[in-house]
Structure 1
């Protein structure tokens, strides 16, 4: 099965009739079905499958051991996401194993395909949660107490899926098995269509984080409360959204977004009592926290003018990541000199890069659109990417 045909197999799983695209989140029905699909597909290839204590799946070609070559990605999506972000890397890894097996290759080093849990943070709010737990870059108690929009904690969801919540957290033994990690992903941007190349090697990931702004005012009747008597948290929330765009425009190469805003109680004829909004901020270098501090200052001023309060909570943050130099050079040599690209998108490979030599391959996305139903990659490019991944894995495993 080619990578493109494997993607076609799962094209109906987790479709979102309201948003379009796919909504597949950690341990929900869609993501669970994809996990079962992966286990079945890996079994057909003779891989030994296990799930670690953080919900990440490992499919081993041969006996697990140190200095392992590991590839893979994730199966979850953002709400209403595209078909390629995550599953492309998993399908390509399975295809790469089949390609290598068909030519009689057997890895001289331990080899695994990994599927990381909750990479997008679409359910519990923290991106790359599975790889953060593996590496200990998120506190285990914090992770256990993360809640989804329905109030279900990560610990509760994990227990329902057969994990022991008491055991989540840094897994030094498993982390120590990884010699090098290589992740293939659909390009999130349109660099390759302009460069005329089907694949690229990743070089850097821009620093990024997520912050929650919680505005508190006074809930009241929309018709009976005069404008001058209101403490409406929606007003400073709205001013903050506008400030995000204004300040991002004045910061070099900054990307700042408010994609989620939740008023409580949420009635049409009700002045909200609280409004939560989530800020995604990404600035190269060390300027992301500085930009967020400016936004927070304006949010506090706007809240005060309306007689409201605001609390700002950092939910996640990662510094700039530069992928392993030697691996990057090797990939360029082995794959015929494809271009190198930076990205503003986060990946599990970027989390692992702080602990093991890690790299990225990108597959062309002619639309340049991602995290949307319009995300796309041609079948020819998808399969080209899987063959390139197989070539790289063969070299790494020899």
Structure 2
């Protein structure tokens, strides 16, 4: 790493305060909010400071180009800047900051790109506001219809279309962008590892092999509201009991199958301390190494919910809100990355259970991922961390990859 490595900590300090909640210490950078606008302004300023050609595409994704975008066969890198509720500093932003720093590193090396290079910030990757992950990349890849996207609604009843319009983005323009994707020859996303595999291997950087299939399901439990202090236990139709039993069943079914299942969001009506709930709505996130196992786990959780609901006099309905099949990253590109980074010792190649824009785009363009060590393994939390030396190692690795792909 040359002295240009100083650019990374400077960018990191500039971005760090944006959207940070003083109480939790986590980030609330939700799509199409003022915090998101500040992040987007930061991205644009970084592009313009480097003399890169800046543009926003029809779906609100931001692009910064070195070279002619129309030339085609571009090498693109980047990630996202939005967050989950009270998320950590590294999930998403590490990839964007590292991408700009890697371009700086290439220039410091005197590398001359033979292919266009670009840094991208995909909008609304986490889905924290509207409930669907990877909206920007899904729209671009044609995996989400404009009609369905515009109809997404946040907790306050604001639609995605309304939020985009308020932020100055035209919601009528959103949709598939095959011409743009046709110009991309490879997409490489750097991301903090959301787990401890690299830490256990004592390695700062790794290459992704695949993304587990994953999805989100909404479980609705409908019972009968009543007085908590006067209604006999025998007369209750309490959906909270059914929901609680389903949460425990999810843990058990996932553990037995070697999968993951999490109820991380819940809404209760009427949500009174002295009232039996009339409805409980819970959102299940489930992931597994293969699609058959995932389907079996979710089916088993649904069956457990319905069986308990029948005992409790509670109606149960289940809606799949999103699903991403298993992603095997392009083997040739993955192996190229491993070869570029494995001169001293073989670079770790590992799967992940977390979804990413690279996974969405993999159906349309060759994609690959680099992971940077997370010593605690904690993610989607203010405790998420990565050592500066490891971050700089990630920048160096990404610069090596970009040089190998675009400059040779």
TM over 0.5: yes
Q: Secondary structure at the match of 1:93?
A: helix
Partner of 2:331: 325
The question of whether the paired residues in 1 share the 8 Å contact of 2:33 and 2:167 is answered with no
Partner of 2:284: 279
Quick one: distance in 2 between partners of 1:16 and 1:304? 43
Quick one: distance in 1 between partners of 2:273 and 2:369? 46
Matched, 1:388 2:397: yes
Q: Secondary structure at the match of 2:69?
A: coil
Partner of 1:60: 65
Quick one: distance in 2 between partners of 1:167 and 1:265? 38
How big is the shift at 1:264? Answer: 1.6
The residue correspondences of 1:290-309 to structure 2 (distance < 5 A) are 290-309=296-315
Quick one: distance in 1 between partners of 2:25 and 2:265? 17
How big is the shift at 1:3? Answer: 2.3
Partner of 2:356: 347
Q: 2:249 aligns with which of 240, 243, 247?
A: 243
Q: TM-score, normalised by structure 2?
A: 0.94
Quick one: distance in 1 between partners of 2:8 and 2:218? 38
Q: 2:77 aligns with which of 71, 74, 80?
A: 71
Partner of 1:36: 41
Quick one: distance in 2 between partners of 1:164 and 1:30? 19
The question of whether the paired residues in 2 share the 8 Å contact of 1:4 and 1:382 is answered with no
Matched, 1:365 2:370: no
Partner of 1:223: 229
Quick one: distance in 1 between partners of 2:174 and 2:234? 50
Partner of 2:166: 160
How big is the shift at 1:259? Answer: 0.7
The question of whether the paired residues in 2 share the 8 Å contact of 1:3 and 1:88 is answered with no
Q: 1:47 aligns with which of 42, 52, 60?
A: 52
Matched, 1:17 2:22: yes
Q: Secondary structure at the match of 1:2?
A: helix
Matched, 1:146 2:152: yes
The question of whether the paired residues in 2 share the 8 Å contact of 1:2 and 1:383 is answered with no
The question of whether the paired residues in 2 share the 8 Å contact of 1:19 and 1:79 is answered with no
Q: 2:321 aligns with which of 306, 315, 319?
A: 315
How big is the shift at 1:290? Answer: 2.0
Quick one: distance in 1 between partners of 2:295 and 2:163? 31
Matched, 1:205 2:214: no
Matched, 1:196 2:205: no
19 and 239 in structure 1: CA distance in 2 versus 1, 3 angstrom threshold? farther
The question of whether the paired residues in 2 share the 8 Å contact of 1:202 and 1:361 is answered with yes
Cα shift readout 1:306-330 (whole Å, capped 9, x = no counterpart): 2221221111111111111111111
Matched, 1:117 2:123: yes
How big is the shift at 1:227? Answer: 2.2
Cα RMSD of the aligned pairs, angstroms, is: 1.4
Cα shift readout 1:231-266 (whole Å, capped 9, x = no counterpart): 221111111111101111111x20111111110221
Larger deviation, residues 135-144 vs 197-206: 135-144
Partner of 1:378: 387
Quick one: distance in 2 between partners of 1:31 and 1:159? 14
The question of whether the paired residues in 1 share the 8 Å contact of 2:75 and 2:118 is answered with yes
How big is the shift at 1:85? Answer: 0.4
Quick one: distance in 1 between partners of 2:124 and 2:107? 30
Q: TM-score, normalised by structure 1?
A: 0.96
**5+ unaligned residues in a row in structure 2: which ranges?**
1-5
Quick one: distance in 2 between partners of 1:214 and 1:88? 36
How big is the shift at 1:200? Answer: 0.4
